[in-house]
Every structure is written in C-alpha cells, then in structure tokens.
Chains A and B, each alone.
Chain A
Amino acid sequence: MNLKENSKAWQEGMAKSITFIVTKDCQLACKYCYLVGKNSEERMSFDVAKQAIDFVLSNREMFNEHSVIYDFIGGEPFLEIELIDRICDYLKEQMYILNHPWFNSYRFNFSTNGIMYNDPRVQAYITKNVSHLSIGITIDGTQHKHDMNRIYKDGRGSYNDVVKNIPLWLKQFPDSGTKVTVGSEDLPFIVESVLHLYSLGIKDVNINVVFENVWKEGDDTILESQLLELANIMIEKKLYEKHSCSFFSDFIGKPQDPERDNQNWCGAGKMLSIDAEGNFYPCTRFAKYSLRSKPPIIIGNIHDGINTNLLRPFLTLDRCTQSTEECIACEVGSGCAWCQGENYDAADTATIFQRATAICKMHKARVRANNYYWSRLSHILQKEELAQLRKERSKCNI
C-alpha cells in the first residue's frame, strides 16, 4: 500500500527528555504563543547548565532511560547558539568520561522559528553535531496565514525571513516536518497553508489547534469544511503517497475503554525542564513564563535535586481521573489531546487533575473530517490493491 504515515519522533516515548530553557527571549511575538512571560533578561548561564548536567548524569538511578533527548527551547533557542554549543560540548564530554549509556544514544533537539537558521554560528553548530540533531522549523503555511500570527515585536510578518531558509534546512534534514498551530482567526486558511508547505518540499505537516479557550461559535464548522476540502485534494492528487498531515490519523475518533485506554496523554513529569535559575519543572509549560493564572510548579533545583513527592501526581495521573464523565463516555474520544500545563492553568483549583475541554467541538469536527478521509481513501486503496492483485494473477496465468 502506497501511504505515507505520520512521522514519529526519535525513540518516541522511550527516551528521557531533558529541556534547557536557554532564554526567554524571542525575536517574534506570535499571537498564539502560550509563553506569556517572555523577556530578554532571563538567560541561562553556562554554570547553571553545567550544574544541571552534573546532577542529571550523576543520578543514573533516577534517570534510567536508555536514551536521551536534550531539548533546547526558548523563546528562540538559536539566540543562544554559542551557549548551546558549549553546553553540548560539555554534555558529550561528560557522557564519554562517565561512560554513560546515553553517550551512544542521544539527540539534540530544537524547535526554532527559523530566522537565524542560516547564521554562520548556527551552521557551524549543525555541521559539528549533524548526526545527533533534530531541528524543526515552524512555518505556519502561506505568507498570509503565517504573518497573521508569527510577527515581529514591531508587527511585521516573519514569513520572508523564514521561508528563505527552508531549502537549506530541507537539504540538511530532508525528512523534517514542520509544526503548524491553528487558532480561531486562521482556520479558513488551513487548506492553502498545508498545500503550500507541501509545495515547499515539506512532507510532514504536524498541525494542531491550540488547546487554549479561544474558540468561537461556528469555528468547528469552519475546521470541518477546511479538513473535508483538504481530504478531497489529498486523495484526488494522491498527495497521501508522499505527504502526511497529522489532522488525519487512523487512530482518532474511537470510543475508549476506561481501563484499557486509561493512560495519560501527556509526558509531563517524565520530562525534566531546567530554567535559567537552575529550577526544575515537570515540563516547560509549568514554568512561570508559561502560566497565565497559576503559580509555577517547581519540583526541585540544581542545588537540592528533585522533590520526588511533587512528581507523584504526574506519574500516577491517568485519563479517567482527570476527565469529566462526558469525556470518559465520549464515543469519539481517542486522539482528543490535552496539554497538562494548559489543564493546570485553566483548572478551577491548582490541580493537574482537571482536564480542559476547550477543544471538544474542534476535536469532534476533526473526527468527522477524518472519518470521511479514511472512508474515501481506504475504498480507493482497496480497489488499487485488488487491481494490483488481479494484475499479478494474470501475469501468473500467462
């Protein structure tokens, strides 16, 4: 069957994720950005990073996964490329000296706005670490859609500064996908944006609607009609053979068993995020600069280590305990995602056990379009398979 599957992250779900919040600064002021407390003051020092690394690498019992992904995020991480280069050198050196199992199984991972991608310092870093790198550039689609949200602090769109770097990026990382975020205002531009990204040479488009409560009456109808149109085009032009769009997935929209399908969606608590002050978080979304209305959840720091009591809620959290009765009984619940940080931020009390349901209607719209996509596509694929089979049989008969 000729069908491109959605891309999977390296060692998905198996590797420890260690995130360095190297800066809270960014050139952009994207309208949908959940980082409400960005600033140019909080920048990680090498000393803090070093102490964090020493803590992590010397506690193998606590960090016992076979592989590791070192994430560098901001703000915009490439603003701190010299610091990151130093951190990575130290990591490699220490993993080697300590004969740490991660030395043979590590990745450096970046989500960047792409503006500095062609900067010589960034390119030198890429050349040095290319075999252990994953870099995702965020481009939201057409210039119109991209520049609606992804703007500089002075209001200018950033599309032109990003798109010029896409060819170089795809040359260096041909299998890379991009992350697209959709809010209420840019819903009508989904189809043209996904097709535009394919035309740029990007094969995997990981796209999602924001978890925050930004949705207006009728947005679900717009999303559904956009996705139905996209489904038709992907099928008619056979784009599914070489491209994927994460809106369409064959595991979403099914009922879920309260016991068998009770696992948590989110990996918060299994990750470790470190900020410029050397504080530890269960995920970056629990750092102060990510939260609108709740205090940060600091689970430790580079001096005192981790308070494991604070990880217990994260590591025992399951789907049903945090969900409403309606969500548990939902006939199309599978694939309805949540962000633990947004759940916490939006909850009525300071708990991670209350699931935010702002995307409910949007998920249901996605499920309807997704069902249509797979219904149509599987029919075509079955026919093709049958035709192929007949062809092979007829060859045998000759």
Chain B
Amino acid sequence: MQYLIVILDEAATSFCYYPSPNRKAKLMKLEMLKEVIFFAQKEGWLLNFLVGDNTLPKEYMETIDVINHILLTPLSYPQDNVDNVMVLNDDQCRELDNIPDNPDKNVILRVRKENLSSLYTLVKSLNGKFRRLNITLENIDLFNEKDLNLYEQQLNHLSQLYINQSNKETPFEINIVSDRLFLHQMNNCDAGVKHITFAPNGNFYICPAFYYEDINNECGNLKTGINIKNSQLLRLDHAPICRVCDAYHCKRCVWLNKKTTFNVNTPSHEQCIVSHIERNMSRNVLERLHQNNIIPDIVIESIDYLDPFDNINKRKNI
C-alpha cells in the first residue's frame, strides 16, 4: 500500500466511476480521524481526503495538516488551495465562470453517458483552468454501440485540442488522450493493492465505491488491521484479460469489474472497448506528434482488436 483514501464526509462527492452518494452531510468523528492519521503515519502512507460541500472546521484542518495529503473537493468547496483536486460533474461547468483561471490545477471531470456529446465542449469551457484533467465516464456499463461511436468522435476532437497545445512550454494533460503516451507498463487504479479506503464508520474498504455500494463490504478496521480476502485477485497477474493488454492507462476498476462480470479481475466488454478507443486515439496522437517533431519515447503498436478478450479466445481456438 502506498496511500489511503479517507472519506471525511458521508456526503463526499464521487470522484470516480461510482455514483455520488445521496446522503446527508456527516463528518467523520474527529477522534477517529486522529486515529486513522496515526495509523497511516505508522504505515508511511500518503493521504487523500474526500470532503463534502462544507469547509472543514478549523480543528479538522489542523488535524489533517500533520500529514502529507491531498483534498478532493467538490466545486462548492472553497477552491483557494491549488493543491486540492477539484471534482466537477458535467452539469457544473457553467458555474466555472466564477472561478479564476488556474493553469496549475488538477481537475476531475465526471461525464455521464447522456452528456457524451458535450464532452469536447465541456473540456473547452475548462480551458485555462487546469494543468491536468482527469475525465471519468459514468455508467460505462450502459454504453451501447452508438455511445461508443459518439465517444470516439469526441475523443477525436479532444486529441486535436491536445495536439494544438502540445508544443507549449507547459502543456496540459487530458488523461484519456495523453496518459498512454507516457506509459511503458500498466498504470491502473490498483485499489486494494496500492491504496485502501477508510470510511466514516471506522472500517476499511477496497475503495469508496465498495463502501457506498454496501457497508458490509468492509475489509478490516483500525484494531484488526486490513484483511482483504482473495486479495491476489486484485493484482494484475491474476487478471487474465488485463495482464495481456496494453491499454496501460486503463483504470482497470475492480468495482466496475465486480458489478459487470461478478469478478473483480475481469473487465466488461464495454470497459475494454472504451479503453481501446482511447488507446488507439493516443496512437493517432503519437503519429501526429511525430509529424510535429515532438517525439515521446514510446511505441504504440497497431492492433486488430478492441477487446483483448476476443484476442485471447482467437488464440485459444487456433
């Protein structure tokens, strides 16, 4: 484990694939917060805090300031600290006018299937307000052929946007376009392997999604420590489809896997297609960058499949 995610507020906004919880704001008890920070200090972990709409009380701020941390904050949370990551939902971009430009900001943009057609417009409206943009698609599991085509079109526009600014002194990053350009191996979410989540009820979970889905998904507490049953299945070497895949930027979300295939180590068809559309778009970007004499030290091979599952089965049948 390298870091710990702490859900400070029951109503903390989702920063990832899982839906934002529809819960009343309720802060973790201060005493519990102190205990988990002490636990993390002993493990040598970094901390990410998920917060709700309200500014943290002074005593909470003082408590978390004893350890290296990042706050993941909703738009409604005061955005005065550049180190905080801002989480935006696709219906909030109009509210951005009130926020000054900030070319150093790290922003997470969550986009629903219904708003896929606005993806490029949404990103354009954020121009100047981020250095790194992490786009997370909600309900990938519900994507159909039409959605996937639409996503590819939008990605094409985003690629152009990325290329246009790539020769600037401090170019911005858009995860779904540019991450693959810098990866030589898998760089997945690795929930339960590199990080773990601590919830306001005092229990550990593989990630916040597992907590919000069912509080009985816990995998330990501060007294017993962490015990993830079948934890080997969270590792890449125990994921038969992913371990032969080169969509290195894919989140390989174990919660989505569990939801769609009932197994944490097996991605859905839709997840694989989305990641490969991104991968192939990065390959196009790479070619264009080469033409512009910008040469990242990477090779992305041409492939004839979008879902590695098909490739595995094809090989089996030979």
Contacts and interface: CB of A to CB of B under 8 A. Distances in A.
Contacts of B263: 313, 351-353
Given A308-B269, A347-B230, A348-B230, A316 B264 contact: no
B297 to A, nearest CB: 31
Given A310-B261, A316-B240, 9 more contacts: A309-B268, A312-B261, A312-B267, A312-B268, A313-B265, A315-B309, A351-B265, A353-B263, A354-B230
Interface string A339-375: 0000000011111111000000000000000000000
Interface in A304-335: 308-310, 312-313, 315-318, 321
Interface in A272-327: 297, 308-310, 312-313, 315-318, 321
Nearest to A352: B263
B230 to A, nearest CB: 5
A347 to B, nearest CB: 7
B266 A312 contact: yes
B268 A351 contact: no
A349 B238 contact: no
Given A309-B261, A310-B261, A352-B263, A316 B312 contact: yes
B240 A317 contact: yes
Contacts of B265: 313, 321, 351, 353
Contact of A309 (B230, B240, B260, B312): B260
Interface string B246-274: 00000000000000111111111110000
Nearest to B264: A351
B148 interface: no
A321 B240 contact: yes
B256 to A, nearest CB: 11
B93 interface: no
**Which residue, of A312, A313, A349, has the highest number of chain B Cβ atoms within 10 A?**
A312
Contacts of A318: 240
Contacts of B267: 312
Given A321-B240, A348-B229, A349-B230, A316 B266 contact: yes
10 contacts: A309-B260, A313-B261, A317-B240, A321-B238, A321-B265, A349-B229, A351-B230, A351-B233, A351-B262, A351-B263
Interface of A: 297, 308-310, 312-313, 315-318, 321, 347-354
A352 B268 CA distance: 16
Contacts of B262: 297, 310, 313, 350-351
B233 A353 contact: yes
Contact of B309 (A297, A316, A349, A350): A316
A281 to B, nearest CB: 13
Contacts of B309: 312, 315-316
A179 B262 CA distance: 33
B28 interface: no
Contacts of B150: none
A269 to B, nearest CB: 11
B241 interface: yes
A143 B240 CA distance: 47
- Enumerate the 9 nearest inter-chain pairs by beta-carbon distance, A residue then B residue, closest first: A316-B240, A313-B263, A348-B229, A313-B266, A309-B268, A349-B230, A349-B229, A309-B260, A309-B261
B273 to A, nearest CB: 12
Contacts of B241: 312, 316
B291 interface: no
B313 interface: yes
A279 to B, nearest CB: 15
A297 B266 CA distance: 15
A293 to B, nearest CB: 14
Contacts of A316: 240-241, 266, 309, 312
Nearest to B307: A312
Contacts of A347: 230
A316 to B, nearest CB: 4
Nearest to A316: B240
Interface in B84-110: none
Contacts of A309: 260-261, 268-270
Contacts of A354: 230, 233
Contacts of A308: 269
A350 B270 CA distance: 22
Interface in B297-313: 309, 312-313
A312 B269 contact: yes
Nearest to B260: A309
A260 to B, nearest CB: 13
Contacts of A310: 261-262
Contacts of B269: 308-309, 312
A315 B261 contact: no
Contacts of A348: 229-230
B264 to A, nearest CB: 7
A298 to B, nearest CB: 10
Interface string B263-290: 1111111100000000000000000000
Nearest to B269: A309
Interface string B42-84: 0000000000000000000000000000000000000000000
B316 to A, nearest CB: 8
Contacts of A350: 262
A220 to B, nearest CB: 27
Contacts of B270: 309
B161 to A, nearest CB: 32
Contacts of A312: 241, 261, 266-269, 309
A313 B262 CA distance: 8
A347 B232 CA distance: 13
A350 B258 CA distance: 10
A38 to B, nearest CB: 25
A315 B313 contact: yes
B228 to A, nearest CB: 9
A245 to B, nearest CB: 32
Contacts of B229: 348-349
A197 B233 CA distance: 44
Interface in B206-241: 229-230, 233, 238, 240-241
A268 to B, nearest CB: 13
A354 B261 CA distance: 16
Contacts of B268: 309, 312
A313 to B, nearest CB: 4
A316 B269 CA distance: 13
Contacts of B264: 351
A318 B240 CA distance: 8
Contacts of A353: 230, 233, 238, 263, 265
